[in-house]
Chains A and B, each alone.
Chain A
Amino acid sequence: MSKILIRGAKVLGGEAQDVLIDGETIAATARQGEIDLSGLNLSAEDVTVIEAEGQVLLPGLVDLHTHLREPGREDSETVLTGTRAAASGGYTAVFAMANTFPVADTAGVVEQVWRLGKESGYCDVQPIGAVTVGLEGKKLSELGAMHESAARVTVFSDDGKCVDDAVIMRRALEYVKAFGGVVAQHAQEPRLTEGAQMNEGVVSAELGLGGWPAVAEESIIARDVLLAEHVGSRVHICHLSTAGSVEIVRWAKSRGIDVTAEVTPHHLLLTDELVRSYDPVYKVNPPLRTERDVMALREALADGTIDIVATDHAPHPHEDKDCEWAAAAMGMVGLETALSVVQQTMVETGLLDWAGVAERMSHAPARIGSLAGHGRPVSAGEPANLTLVETSYRGVVDPAHFASRSRNTPYEGRELPGRVTHTFLRGRATVVDGKLA
């Protein structure tokens, strides 16, 4: 295996260091210029050197919430194109959501996704299993069989739909305790969101679009943290979008309830004011909320109430968005812009340092998903899953350059900071100088 020396990178944004990769692992780290190649029986010719002065080195990012669309909607994304997009965005592992066709509610489907991930070579793919058969919310899937499959599923979610039946949710929370699993809830009370098109508030009233009230999310979160407490299980809340949700999670954590939560990059930056354009690129589930919500989410991510950033990367083909608002699909791609949005909203606002970013985009998601080998410290002996970021870069987002099969980004034409120059998956570069290897 080749050896790679990353020279002068600011590890987690801190001190400039040299990091030597040997094979699949980090062989050594030391202050800049202090790695002794001869002491390691290496000559300069044996080592590929990457000059990374000024760049930030992070553990490879982990996304707990990705839609890869395969099987079933390969016109939107495949495991291969999705993992290429992930690598471009600095990710070394993604959790693939279960709302595929067929639904990932059996050992067979999760193993298929898992195997396709192995074959892709760009990023580890950890399938998420559906909580209920067909995402119908009526009958538990064979959660144990999915866990025992080659995919070793630990995260279960009906994402895209809410497990709204309190009994089914309770049973799922109880059942996965047997193998340390976690249920990731898409919190959306279905009756309160019938016909909902966007955040309920001033803008929806004006635009005549069906309102999606904050309480539809908050009421389910409140119920689920109490259920988790009652049965002594852990629950993960997907894509928090309201200030009220933050308050409920904060209260639950203060009470000792085992709850974790995620926020998407777009909910950290965009507001429902953008919907005035009626451009479906802004149509997403949960909907874009208000400035007040955005600020509450940023603060909660900073203070640890929200544990992680997850992309909810939701690719759709052009025709599914190039239409009137009501007919358009919900969702936006996010893998390739997530880190830039986090840099802009959290790092450049002083809310989070790079070590904090590493915690929320790598360590914690790997921990929540029980994913071995990812989210590890940048230190000798650890797997060489790494991401190198040129944080001083400024560029205008051009989706034509995306590796994802879909282009439904809300950031087209917007200037965002930061660029992933290199991504390493177990020591192998998947991205070199900003381009897929």
Chain B
Amino acid sequence: MKRHLISAADLTRDDAVLILDTAEEMARVADRPIKKLPTLRGLTICNLFFEDSTRTRISFEAAEKRLSADVINFAAKGSSVSKGESLKDTAQTLEAMGVDAVVIRHHASGAPYRLATSGWIDAPVINAGDGTHEHPTQALLDAFTMRRRLVGRDAGLGKDLNGRRITLVGDVLHSRVARSNVQLLHTLGAEVTLVAPPTLVPVGVENWPCEISYGLDEVLPKSDAVMMLRVQRERMNAAFFPTEREYSRRYGLDAARMAKMPEHAIVMHPGPMVRGMEITAEVADSDRCTVVEQVANGVSIRMAVLYLLLGGSEPAVTTPAAARTEENK
């Protein structure tokens, strides 16, 4: 494993499979009466959130606490950042306080990369979503969910997603989830298709390891998983598509469209869902929709990432005390 997790592209196939396998071990902790490991006891992790994100922050916080880390939550709103303090100063202040790792969510693409490479701090940096760039732990939890559903919970151990056909639908242009997923799913051997109106496909996408389609209906029968991306309300007024109604008709997922998918295929969404536009309530509430599982899996994945980045070179659950030696700390 590398020192930081900034981009899904940083992960090799073996790195990614190791994280997924470790997350399976971590998931078992959730089934215990006491959902806690002593693995990161004595370490302090700061969740540095420059952008609101209740779901991701709580997921990281739950993961950190289950690994017994001390947690500092920093939200830019109402902090010194709103008084003009820079990312650099904030990060250095936290490091001076003895933070061992930084989980950062930032509205600016590249901010976690800058934090990890600029020499401002020494601590490992985990990207919890940066601008329209990447959200690697989201991609990992998505891949974890797909592997469990499409390959099997135990049968999937050690395996990737080779040959699985994954379709991502919606606002690819502004989606860090899409960028990370395309990279990671490709690394794991899946065939990825992006479906979006041309206005929401980035110029330069031809270099991405995926197919592009402007129509959803023809792709659905060939999909093992269909991931609906969130369309932000502000995009609706920026001429990316004519109306919410038209978007919904062309790119929304309803029961009729879901019926075109193979029987085993699943429906995914990184949340929060815009019901009625991106996805109908009928689809969102169906057994094929994995949204709630994705949330649960997010905690396991983040536990795995934190564990591996902060010292775990040995099985996480079986010998947790041995995981943090001075050499691999």
Contacts and interface: CB of A to CB of B under 8 A. Distances in A.
B205 A324 contact: no
A209 interface: yes
B111 interface: yes
A209 B204 contact: no
A325 B203 contact: no
A324 B104 CA distance: 13
B310 to A, nearest CB: 24
Nearest to B6: A278
Interface residues of B, number: 28
B248 interface: no
A200 interface: yes
B207 interface: yes
A209 B203 CA distance: 11
A204 B132 CA distance: 10
A324 B110 contact: yes
Interface residues of A, number: 24
Interface centre among B106, B107, B131 (most CB of A within 10 A): B131
A203 interface: yes
Contacts of B107: 326
B88 A205 contact: no
Interface string A333-370: 00000000000000000000000000000000000000
A437 interface: no
A206 interface: yes
B108 A201 contact: no
B86 A208 contact: no
A327 interface: yes
Nearest to A319: B86
Given A278-B110, A324-B111, A325-B109, A204 B203 contact: yes
Contacts of B240: none
Interface in B280-296: none
Given A205-B208, A319-B86, A327-B87, A211 B110 contact: no
Interface string B190-233: 00000000000011111110000000000000000000000000
A150 interface: no
A145 interface: no
A210 to B, nearest CB: 8
Interface string A206-226: 111111010000000000000
B120 to A, nearest CB: 8
A324 B179 contact: no
B130 to A, nearest CB: 7
A167 interface: no
Given A206-B179, A208-B176, A325 B108 contact: yes
A324 B113 CA distance: 9
B267 to A, nearest CB: 25
A49 interface: no
B102 to A, nearest CB: 14
A201 B109 contact: no
Contacts, number: 80
B204 A203 contact: yes
Contacts of B206: 202
A327 B108 contact: yes
A396 interface: no
B204 A200 contact: yes
A7 B204 CA distance: 55
A323 interface: yes
B114 A200 contact: no
A207 B87 contact: no
Interface in A173-223: 197, 200-211, 213
A206 B172 CA distance: 11
A51 interface: no
Contacts of B179: 206, 208
A204 B204 contact: yes
Interface in B121-169: 130-134
Interface centre among A209, A322, A323, by most chain B C-beta atoms within 10 angstroms, is A323
Nearest to B202: A205
B207 A323 contact: no
A139 B131 CA distance: 36
Contact of A201 (B88, B134, B176, B203): B203
Contacts of B111: 324-326
Nearest to A214: B203
Given A278-B114, A327-B86, A211 B203 contact: yes
Contacts of B133: 207-209
Contacts of A210: 132
B66 to A, nearest CB: 30
Given A322-B88, A325-B109, A327-B87, A206 B114 contact: no
A332 to B, nearest CB: 18
A210 B204 CA distance: 12
A200 B203 contact: yes
Contacts of B113: 278
Leading 10 A-B pairs by shortest Cβ distance: A208-B133, A205-B204, A326-B108, A278-B110, A205-B202, A202-B204, A208-B132, A324-B111, A208-B109, A201-B204
20 contacts: A201-B203, A201-B204, A202-B206, A202-B207, A204-B204, A205-B204, A207-B109, A208-B131, A208-B134, A208-B176, A209-B131, A209-B133, A210-B132, A211-B202, A277-B117, A278-B114, A323-B86, A323-B87, A323-B88, A327-B108
Given A205-B205, A278-B117, A325-B108, 12 more contacts: A203-B204, A205-B203, A206-B204, A207-B110, A208-B133, A278-B110, A278-B114, A322-B88, A322-B118, A324-B87, A324-B111, A325-B114
